[in-house]
Structure 1
Amino acid sequence: MKTITLGSTGITVPQNAFGALPVQRVNMDTAVQMLRKAYDGGMRFFDTARAYSDSEEKMGEAFGKWNSPKRDQIFIATKSTAETPEKLRADLETSLRNLKTDYIDIYQLHCVKQCYRPGDGTGLYEVLQEAKAQGKIRHIGITAHKIGIAEEIAESGLYETLQFPFSYLATERDIALVEKCQKNNVGFIAMKGLSGGLLTNSRACMAFMLQYPVLPIWGIQKESELDEWLSYFDAEPEMTPELDALIKKDRAELLGDFCRGCGYCSPCSVGIVINQCARMSQMIRRAPSENWLTMQWQEEMMKIERCTECGACMKRCPYELKIPSLLKKNLADYKEILAGKII
């Protein structure tokens, strides 16, 4: 497996890392088992966040009791959505306790609305500098979903890593962002490598990632998924004509406005589960399951008819999608699927 160095951090790890958002959905024993298996299988970089409910605690249980030298071989990244210095300091202390560690390798501002800078009046960057000077964090990172903000971050000279969505559905501008980060010695951490579950061929996803100087963090919830990613340590996928054709087909079908399922649009004032309903058509076709046609999901989809088009979801959507229109399009398609039972 190829290795990658994350910009100026000096952190060098295999180009195959663990995204720990999904472990909040499994019990403690299962999470600990998977995290340790990931380490034993070759993964060295693990990404979590305060926003991922008990994900940090599970990672702490898995790795916090491992004494040196293993801790020195594990690189932990976490994040805070704090918008005040007081909350950021509190989040950092909570993360240190949860992770059962004296330091965090990369501490990231999470899903930012701007490129935070020293002297901008928020005080957030100053807290990061303070924490780094105290040895509580080793490197300063940031995550963004909006390309314009990400580009500003990459050029700012302030952040050692940038985490941004990147998959084989990437646009030319997304790829240019990767190149900009490389030029400015900013480590690029690639989230949403499966585009929120829309991409289902892990071999194609990995082969694509290996062409770029990025560190993909795969969201892993099941041991079978972990086994798939770990298998690539023994045999790296190559970009074959077959995989290239599959990628081109997916790009033709999916490029444009599609929901990544991040959930930042929620809550909905009328109770619509936006991050599932806005991509239901694609999920049914790309991850076929009778479960999408149950009475429960039929009821959820019919809530779209109650949409008031208040616009609150659009203001929160990091991808600036026209969500009400997207929901209605998915509902119309869903009704046709129900009528014909096409899966």
Structure 2
Amino acid sequence: MNKGTLGKANLDVSSLCFGTGTNGWGGRSNQTDLGLNELADLLAYTYDKGVTFWDSADQYGSHPHVAKACEIVGRDNVTITSKTTSRDYEGAKADIDRFLTELQTDCVDIILMHCLSSDDWPTKCRGAMDALSEAKEAGKIRAHGVSCHDYGAFLEASRSDWVEVVLARINYGGHNMDGTPEEIIWVLEEMDDNGIG
């Protein structure tokens, strides 16, 4: 498996990230429906195949599964992403501390603000951004960023000095994307030029 450095976040990751949130929301996903041990074993299998980058989220209910998989492969051997839907300071701060407990770690590699759907998110989410910045300074997370579900929000992320990592929705079938493949690729290239992973 190829590995690389994820932008200015400077995290070493596999070129493939294994997600835990297909049809995920409300504390469940197709992957978590497999069961605690089954998803943990699947994550460990991906690690054996060279995938060292795992994506989780509060809304997927996958933190216990990722924590269990880390018991198998070793926490220091994988890069973990999670996501918060909190938009204010207190909510995001509480989420970060809860995520640390649920993931059984003292540091989550990446936490993203989940499901941003408008281009005014830097104003609306200032409190959550401040909480994530403080968590990074305190060593609770290594990088912060956004998960966008809107082209305007995605484009705004490419212009943000605060954003270190973006989850972009792009796939070969064009499903659930926030623009055409050409539009998404253009923004991803802009992000790469700006050091956003």
TM-score (structure 1 length as normaliser): 0.50
Quote how far apart the aligned CAs of 1:19 are. Answer: 0.2
**Cα deviations by residue, 1:290-340 (Å, 9 ceiling, x for unpaired):** xxxxxxxxxxxxxxxxxxxxxxxxxxxxxxxxxxxxxxxxxxxxxxxxxxx
- Higher strand proportion: 2
CA shift in 2, pair 1:125/1:115, >3 Å: farther
What residue in structure 1 maps to residue 60 of structure 2? 52
What residue in structure 1 maps to residue 17 of structure 2? 17
What is the letter of the counterpart of residue 192 of structure 2?
Q
What is the letter of the counterpart of residue 149 of structure 2?
H
CA shift in 2, pair 1:120/1:166, >3 Å: closer
Q: What does 1:1-343 correspond to in 2, within 5 Å?
A: 1-21=1-21, 22-53=30-61, 55-63=62-70, 65=71, 70-113=74-117, 114=119, 116-117=121-122, 122-168=126-172, 169=174, 170-187=180-197
Equivalent position SS for 1:51: helix
2:91 touches 2:128 (CA, 8 Å); kept in 1? Answer: no
TM-score (structure 2 length as normaliser): 0.85
Q: Distance in 2 between matches of 1:180 and 1:42?
A: 28
Q: Distance in 2 between matches of 1:128 and 1:35?
A: 26
Quote how far apart the aligned CAs of 1:115 are. Answer: 5.2
Q: Distance in 1 between matches of 2:68 and 2:120?
A: 33
Q: Distance in 2 between matches of 1:27 and 1:72?
A: 24
Q: Distance in 2 between matches of 1:29 and 1:171?
A: 36
Quote how far apart the aligned CAs of 1:103 are. Answer: 0.4
Q: Tell me the percent identity.
A: 30
Q: How many residue pairs were aligned?
A: 182
User: Which of 1 and 2 has higher RCO (CA within 8 Å, sep 6+)?
Assistant: 2
Equivalent position SS for 1:110: strand
**Could you tell which deviates more after superposition, 70-79 or 166-175?**
166-175
CA shift in 2, pair 1:116/1:128, >3 Å: farther
Q: Distance in 2 between matches of 1:173 and 1:62?
A: 36
Quote how far apart the aligned CAs of 1:175 are. Answer: 1.3
Equivalent position SS for 1:123: helix
1:20 touches 1:48 (CA, 8 Å); kept in 2? Answer: yes
In structure 1, the gaps of 5 or more residues are: 188-343
Q: Distance in 2 between matches of 1:81 and 1:120?
A: 12
What is the letter of the counterpart of residue 111 of structure 2?
Y
Q: Distance in 1 between matches of 2:165 and 2:195?
A: 9
Q: Distance in 2 between matches of 1:62 and 1:167?
A: 26
2:14 touches 2:51 (CA, 8 Å); kept in 1? Answer: yes
Q: Distance in 2 between matches of 1:121 and 1:141?
A: 12
2:44 touches 2:72 (CA, 8 Å); kept in 1? Answer: no
Aligned Cα RMSD in Å? 1.9
1:112 touches 1:144 (CA, 8 Å); kept in 2? Answer: yes
Equivalent position SS for 1:43: coil
What is the letter of the counterpart of residue 45 of structure 2?
K
Larger Rg: 1
CA shift in 2, pair 1:121/1:180, >3 Å: closer
1:115 touches 1:153 (CA, 8 Å); kept in 2? Answer: no
What is the letter of the counterpart of residue 47 of structure 1?
D
